[in-house]
Amino acid sequence: MHDPINPSHYASSPIECIEAIEASMTTEAFKGFLKGNSIKYLWRYQQKNGAEDLRKGQWYLERLIAIKEIEEAQAQRIAEQSKQVTLHIAEHDPDSYMISGCPDGFCPLPSVRQGPPEMFKPVS
């Protein structure tokens, strides 16, 4: 049976064409490629291949969505790990000047300790 979305000539070598394209590009470039192909098929479906082009556009869009979901999950894991490290530091070093979330230790919020710990005072 003929599959217009995944024709046999795309799988005739050890690596699929889409995998070679992905390997030749940065992640951002590949995401642009997927977006562009999705738009192309959506743009032309009424004048060319109808539902077949919509399915092709959907295939590229679903691949782009999968990449985006992986990126978002990784960013979430990194944020959670960073939060855990900050909490761990705060538990073991209550005078840590990073607890306020301000890298220099100075924070405009009145309820947050201002400045670095006394041990960081400049030598006169």
Same domain, 40 and 88: yes
Query: Domain of 54?
Result: 8-92
Q: In the numeric block, which tokens belong to residue 12?
A: 């005739």
Contact 52, 4 (CB under 8 A): yes
* pLDDT of 120 higher than 70: no
Q: What is the pLDDT of residues 46-67, one digit of tens each?
A: 999 999 999 999 999 999 999 9
* Domain contains 33: yes
Helices (H), the chain: 17-23, 27-44, 51-92
* Domain contains 114: yes
* Domain contains 1: no
Cα–Cα nearest to 17, from 37, 1, 2: 37
Same domain, 84 and 104: no
* Domain contains 53: yes
Same domain, 82 and 124: no
Q: Could you give the number of structural domains in the chain?
A: 2
Q: Is the pTM of this model over 0.85?
A: no
Same domain, 88 and 104: no
* Domain contains 45: yes
Mean pLDDT on 15-24: 93
